[in-house]
Chain A
Amino acid sequence: MDSTVSILANVVGATSNWVRSVFEFQFARAVIFEVNIGGHLFVEGLLLIVILFLLSQKSYKPPKRPLTKKIYFICIKMRVSKIMLRPLPQPLVCNESKENKCKEKFPSDFNRADECVQDFQEIDELCEEWAPEPLIPSITDDMKREPPVLESAAGPHTIVKGKDVVNFTSANYLGLLGSQELLNGTFTSNVEWQETCTTALEKYGVGSCGPRGFYGTIDVHLDCEARIAKFLGTPDSILYSYGLSTMFSAIPAFCKKGDVVSNLYIENENLPSTERTKKFTNALGHSSIFCVCTRFDNSLGFLLLQRLLCLEKANVSWDEILYTAKCERQLAYVNLGTSELDRLGHGIWDGRLIAASPNAPPPKTFMVATPNDEPQYIGVPFANVGTDVKINNPEIATCHQISLLLTLFCNLPFSCRDEGVHWGIQNGLQLSRSTIIYFKHNNMESLRNTLEKVTQENKQARKLRRYIVVEAVYQNSGKIAPLDEIIKLKEKYRFRVLLDESNSIGVLGSSGRGLTEHCKVPSDKIDIITAAMGHALATEGGFCTGNARVIEHQRLSSSGYVFSASLPPYLASATIKAIDIVEEKPELLVKLRQNIALLTKGLSDIKSLEIVNDPLSPIIFLALKQSTGSSKGDLQVLEDIADHVLKEDGVFIVTSKRSTLDKCKLPIGIRLFVSAAHSEADLVKASESLKRATASLLPAYD
């Protein structure tokens, strides 16, 4: 026993001696800047070794995808010719005289200095030659449309041009907006609500003057976050200062490059099949949209094609179009009228059919462009029309079958760029740079297939973060997502769900807690819920709610939260009060539902318009039964109806407008936001007025 202890003591003593000797080594006692370094150098040396080791580790580089041969060839060719033509010199600072500069640079070598001056001049010329496009395209008349200006609060009744009108443009579902005089005192909850706002304004001023991290956190923000979490039964929530920024900040916080996101791809899939046929024939009857696309989409080629088709329509042939497409290797959507197609006939290139003319006999032999071909193209009047369409017109049938064939073979992910989700989500997804796959709008079969495919094809998928992004009530169609089925699929394929509840909080569910309550799904099954508060809660801003980890992560990683000033405190107070009202007054929800049912009933017998939305949705979405064939034409017709209704009967409704950036290709429609504060007379007035307007403006149906 003693011996072992003594051995141990010896060992410890020897080690300590060694360590001490190391520390007392001459080098270790160096004095730098009058500071005795002591044993630090030893530790620092160790650190240096660790750093060097880490530096020597290779970082992962994603494998480069080879370009297809053809394209590669062109690129190389271009580059070579470029280099031979114009060797680009090192840029020079231009304020000084170029000769001096060049002489300075090559003081001994006159030839090189001379060359340098020449290069300089060449760049000067190039800069001189370069002519930029105007900042914006020229303004056409349809861009100048001015919206009506409201002269009072945007309540259920408002004043436009001095006239009292019934307002169906505000997503003021619970009727919190609106001044008392116009409501004749029948509706009281907005009085208290207004008072809360006033008190908060007096206490906190208007703005918060800082981002949340830097003294922009007011106590009401924290209260509001807690209130939202309590209301929705989630652990925590986070406030954003603007509804639009909520999604596009929250998504990139969780999805990075490489992650898989399944999104909604909207198509006219929900229409009954006869309707679809009608739409289809309609589309062919007026104009058809064909697209010729290659992998390298570039809008320049698109412009060229457009010019070819618009300016010199009479002379252009398929060959020319295709030649342009080939040269430019672009994506190009070509919008052709029927007459144009009649003249051009089928578009066949290299034996592959890319566009079908409705009136020409079907080609006897053709190949279908496949995804592996380069360039890739597909000519489908309505991509993914479906398979169960009954066809009446045989000529169109052939054309349709061709397009079906094409659809079957060319299931190109990049041709399915029609997202139905609103722009905030689209932008967020784009910013996240993750892999985005779209499934058909509200089509669970399509979702299942997509999920199956992703899981099967991608062996790495299990290690990637995977999300399904859906909206509870679609702003672009008024449909409601079948959350219970999505949850089943999510659990089967282990995807996370991002749900946007902007239009469902305070509307759906027995106590207004949104889609989760409506579908009886516990809210912890949804990983991330976001919502804009500029709807039923009648304030501004947005929130995201979920488990504590998700929220904490956003507080430092979500750009719209970190880098933007916080929500004005009076709006946070107003939100708290609005949630109180939702909880305290369930009769508002009952009234809202009654109103929705009433208006739906009133509008259902309009012959020329159809109701697209779900019967429970507070957004009533009316689309044209017979499209004019182009979205511009549709918009014009619908705008005329809206203007007529506003002018004649004082009912304020609007069409759904699309930004040029929006990729959603869902049909445009008239959108009516129903409020609990609308009286029965208002709803009757609206439906009667719309009936009259459509009867006079779209008489073909009567």
Chain B
Amino acid sequence: MITIPYLTALTTYFSYGLLFAFGQFREFFRKIFDWWRGSNLQGYAPICLGLEDFYIRRLYLRIQDCFGRPICSPPDAWFDVVERVSNDNNKTLKRTTQVSRCLNLGSYNYLGFAASDEYCTPRVIESLKKYSASTCSARVDGGTTSIHMELEECVANFVGKPAAIVTGMGYVTNSAILPVLIGKGGLIISDSLNHNSIVNGARGSGATIRVFQHNTPSHLEKVLRELIAEGQPRTHRPWKKIIVIVEGIYSMEGELCQLPEIVAICKKYKVYVYLDEAHSIGAVGKTGRGVCELLGVDTADVDIMMGTFTKSFGSCGGYIAGSKELIEYLKYSCPAHLYATSISPPAAQQIISAIKVILGEDGTSRGAQKLARIRENSNFFRSELQKMGFEVLGDNDSPVMPIMIYNPAKIPAFSRECLKHNVAVVIVGFPATPLLLARARICISAAHSREDLNKALEVFSEVGDLTGIKYFPAEPQKQQVEENRVKLE
């Protein structure tokens, strides 16, 4: 649970209040001008609703330059950020030809497979030549090539489940498969901070949706008991089935799921577990097999395992792994399998090769090194940030670490200052987080070297002092420990 310092909460509210007030003031004049100019769309309701648009016009546009910065190189440890200029107070941004080489702390390139890889890239290009870039057909029609079959087998083996089904996009995996699994008369119990794709999938399914407090097994049990005893709303019939949906690593909090406790509760109450490993698969665990391996949960206890390939594997797409029957049923009924273009063969090949590297099947120990490196890097970086006095969320071993910023004015300041020092960070505000809990998110990669991280820490310390986001007192520097670390290197 995030606890905001009282004073910070007050100032944050005040800042948003001020922004809102000025925004409304400007909206007032805008309305007058609009009325003056007249509209040629008589009889149509405005296509964008007032308040949605208000947020974009009056808040988002002011700091638009911090989001969607284009890059012109692979998202490796260092990348080229294209500079943009604006002539109309950030309303529109124009790309320039200038680029700046920045340290990348924003991409989900956990294992460093985003850049070209000595093992993967030649194979990917080979498969592009053999299979072309797309199949232009759904999996059930003519979109299944031998590479797709190989991929599904490979993923099932890697995850530790009997079978798997692969789709071309992670978001679609969640939002198209949940409606197949559960419908009316079913109950979905979802973590309160689950990803939007799960929320949309659950909404699309027609099942009743309840949430439990983020990552709190005791509350989950409470909710479960209450709901099983009560039955379906209105009719009070027993539920047909209940699915509990959790994520392995919460992408905005960097927290690891309390999987063992949750799985134990689910077993006790005979409900199904759906685990979304979008950020954890490949990134954590001794052999990169995700939170199940890290926390010692038997994959047989998790009924449905979902994950994406966008992050650790540096490709695109998503998978569902489960029992053979489950996958057979999904292949028969899932819209993403029946209607959507199958995953691009080179992307599929990238995943296969990446898994082979992780498992050491390429004949080297690069995979093991990468996994050791990301763990070491993330733990080092997290502890250093905490020492400096930043408010860092999340658990050890997780490569995602949000730094709380809170105040709206500090959001762009932090991002812009970091970029000036050639460090690219992601800042997250509303709609991805609650309005009050804006943060900067650091994603550590195995591709980062210790020098890279030290540089980042230096910059953060400086910018943190400048923007005043070190909400905790800094720990005194322990010179010796530092030296030992350097020696170990």
Residue B350 CB within 8 A of the other chain: yes
Q: How many A-B residue pairs have CB under 8 A?
A: 412
Min Cβ gap A596→B in Å is 16
Docked Cα-Cα span, A471 to B225, in Å, equals: 46
| B141 and A654 contacting across the interface, CB-CB below 8 Å | yes
Q: Please provide the chain A residues from 250 to 293 with a CB less than 8 Å away from any CB of chain B in the complex.
A: 254, 256
Residue A49 CB within 8 A of the other chain: no
- Residue among B71, B116, B132 with the highest chain A CB neighbour number at 10 A: B132
Contacts of B336 in A (CB 8 A): 244
Contacts of A212 in B (CB 8 A): 68
| B344 and A155 contacting across the interface, CB-CB below 8 Å | no
Docked Cα-Cα span, A143 to B185, in Å, equals: 24
| B75 and A208 contacting across the interface, CB-CB below 8 Å | yes
Docked Cα-Cα span, A44 to B18, in Å, equals: 10
Residue A241 CB within 8 A of the other chain: yes
Given contacts A147-B141, A241-B169, contact A88 B229 (CB under 8 A): yes
Min Cβ gap B155→A in Å is 16
| A652 and B169 contacting across the interface, CB-CB below 8 Å | no
| B350 and A538 contacting across the interface, CB-CB below 8 Å | no
State which of B313, B340, B341 has its C-beta within 8 Å of the C-beta of A207: B313
Name the segment of A55-63, A130-138, A600-608, A678-686 touching the other chain. Answer: A130-138
Docked Cα-Cα span, A571 to B74, in Å, equals: 14
Residue B235 CB within 8 A of the other chain: yes
Min Cβ gap A225→B in Å is 11
Contacts of B269 in A (CB 8 A): 127, 130
| A244 and B169 contacting across the interface, CB-CB below 8 Å | yes
Docked Cα-Cα span, A150 to B229, in Å, equals: 51
| B314 and A127 contacting across the interface, CB-CB below 8 Å | no
B236-265 near A? 1/0 per residue, CB < 8 Å: 111111100000000000000000000000
Please, which residue of chain B has its CB at the minimum distance from the CB of A124?
B225
Docked Cα-Cα span, A302 to B121, in Å, equals: 53
Residue B78 CB within 8 A of the other chain: no
| A130 and B239 contacting across the interface, CB-CB below 8 Å | yes
Residue B69 CB within 8 A of the other chain: yes
| A217 and B68 contacting across the interface, CB-CB below 8 Å | yes
Name the segment of B122-130, B455-463, B481-489 touching the other chain. Answer: B122-130
| A194 and B132 contacting across the interface, CB-CB below 8 Å | yes
Residue B114 CB within 8 A of the other chain: yes
Name the segment of B326-334, B377-385, B386-394, B465-473 touching the other chain. Answer: B326-334
Given contacts A133-B240, A207-B313, A659-B334, contact A463 B341 (CB under 8 A): no
Please, which residue of chain A has its CB at the minimum distance from the CB of B46?
A465
Please, which residue of chain A has its CB at the minimum distance from the CB of B217?
A95
| A298 and B114 contacting across the interface, CB-CB below 8 Å | no
Docked Cα-Cα span, A94 to B146, in Å, equals: 50
Contacts of A172 in B (CB 8 A): 136
Docked Cα-Cα span, A550 to B431, in Å, equals: 18
Residue B149 CB within 8 A of the other chain: yes
Residue B303 CB within 8 A of the other chain: yes
Q: Please provide the chain A residues from 172 to 229 with a CB less than 8 Å away from any CB of chain B in the complex.
A: 172, 176-179, 190, 194, 197-198, 201-210, 212-219, 221-222
| B47 and A219 contacting across the interface, CB-CB below 8 Å | no
Docked Cα-Cα span, A534 to B141, in Å, equals: 14
Name the segment of A7-15, A556-564, A622-630 touching the other chain. Answer: A556-564
Residue B422 CB within 8 A of the other chain: no
State which of B197, B238, B344 has its C-beta within 8 Å of the C-beta of A568: B344
| B132 and A422 contacting across the interface, CB-CB below 8 Å | no
Contacts of B44 in A (CB 8 A): 465, 494, 496
> Contact residue range for chain A?
35 or more
Contacts of A534 in B (CB 8 A): 134, 136, 340-341
| B180 and A565 contacting across the interface, CB-CB below 8 Å | no
Given contacts A219-B71, A550-B47, contact A568 B315 (CB under 8 A): yes
State which of A51, A197, A209 has its C-beta within 8 Å of the C-beta of B108: A209
Q: Please provide the chain B residues from 283 to 329 with a CB less than 8 Å away from any CB of chain A in the complex.
A: 303-304, 308-311, 313-316, 325-326, 328-329
| B124 and A210 contacting across the interface, CB-CB below 8 Å | no
| A167 and B168 contacting across the interface, CB-CB below 8 Å | no
Residue A151 CB within 8 A of the other chain: yes
Min Cβ gap B264→A in Å is 10
Docked Cα-Cα span, A570 to B345, in Å, equals: 12
Residue B203 CB within 8 A of the other chain: yes
Name the segment of A373-381, A424-432, A446-454 touching the other chain. Answer: A424-432
Docked Cα-Cα span, A358 to B320, in Å, equals: 47
| B136 and A93 contacting across the interface, CB-CB below 8 Å | no
Given contacts A93-B221, A204-B74, A570-B346, contact A131 B53 (CB under 8 A): no
Given contacts A91-B222, A95-B218, A143-B329, contact A205 B106 (CB under 8 A): no
Residue A660 CB within 8 A of the other chain: yes
| A549 and B326 contacting across the interface, CB-CB below 8 Å | no
Given contacts A127-B225, A147-B141, A153-B131, contact A82 B79 (CB under 8 A): no
Name the segment of B29-37, B171-179, B357-365, B403-411 touching the other chain. Answer: B171-179
| B332 and A143 contacting across the interface, CB-CB below 8 Å | yes
Residue A237 CB within 8 A of the other chain: no
Please, which residue of chain B has its CB at the minimum distance from the CB of A329?
B235
Given contacts A88-B230, A170-B137, contact A136 B326 (CB under 8 A): yes
Contacts of B335 in A (CB 8 A): 244, 423-424, 427, 659, 661-662
Residue A513 CB within 8 A of the other chain: no
| A194 and B129 contacting across the interface, CB-CB below 8 Å | yes
| B131 and A203 contacting across the interface, CB-CB below 8 Å | no
State which of B113, B132, B224 has its C-beta within 8 Å of the C-beta of A153: B132
Min Cβ gap A619→B in Å is 12
- Residue among B49, B69, B115, B140 with the highest chain A CB neighbour number at 10 A: B140
Docked Cα-Cα span, A477 to B230, in Å, equals: 46
| A540 and B134 contacting across the interface, CB-CB below 8 Å | yes
Residue B38 CB within 8 A of the other chain: no
State which of A147, A148, A149, A207 has its C-beta within 8 Å of the C-beta of B347: A207
Contacts of B115 in A (CB 8 A): 205
Please, which residue of chain B has its CB at the minimum distance from the CB of A81?
B236
Contacts of A243 in B (CB 8 A): 340-341
Residue A139 CB within 8 A of the other chain: yes
Docked Cα-Cα span, A222 to B82, in Å, equals: 12
- Supply 20 further A-B pairs (C-beta < 8 A) apart from A300-B185, A427-B179, A568-B347: A47-B21, A82-B236, A132-B242, A151-B146, A153-B345, A154-B136, A171-B137, A197-B133, A198-B128, A206-B315, A213-B67, A244-B336, A300-B237, A496-B47, A534-B340, A540-B341, A562-B431, A570-B133, A659-B333, A661-B335
Give me 18 A-to-B residue pairs in the complex whose CB atoms sit less than 8 angstroms apart, sorted by A's number.
A88-B226, A88-B230, A91-B225, A126-B229, A127-B269, A135-B241, A144-B332, A167-B142, A170-B137, A214-B107, A254-B47, A422-B339, A427-B175, A494-B44, A538-B136, A539-B133, A540-B341, A560-B171
Residues of A within 8 A of B (CB): 33, 44, 47, 50-51, 75, 78-79, 82, 86, 88, 91-95, 122-123, 126-127, 130-139, 143-145, 147-155, 158, 167, 169-172, 176-179, 190, 194, 197-198, 201-210, 212-219, 221-222, 241-245, 248, 254, 256, 297-300, 422-424, 427, 430-431, 462-466, 475, 494, 496, 527, 532, 534-535, 538-540, 549-550, 552-553, 555-557, 559-560, 562-565, 567-568, 570-571, 574, 652, 654, 657-662, 671, 673
Residues of B within 8 A of A (CB): 7, 14, 17, 21, 42-49, 52-53, 55-56, 60, 67-76, 79, 81-82, 95, 104, 106-109, 113-116, 120-121, 124-125, 128-137, 139-146, 148-149, 168-172, 175-176, 179-181, 183-185, 195-197, 200, 203-204, 218, 221-226, 228-230, 234-242, 269-272, 303-304, 308-311, 313-316, 325-326, 328-329, 331-336, 338-341, 343-347, 350, 424, 426, 431-432, 441
Closest A-B pairs by Cβ, 3 of them: A169-B142, A534-B341, A242-B169
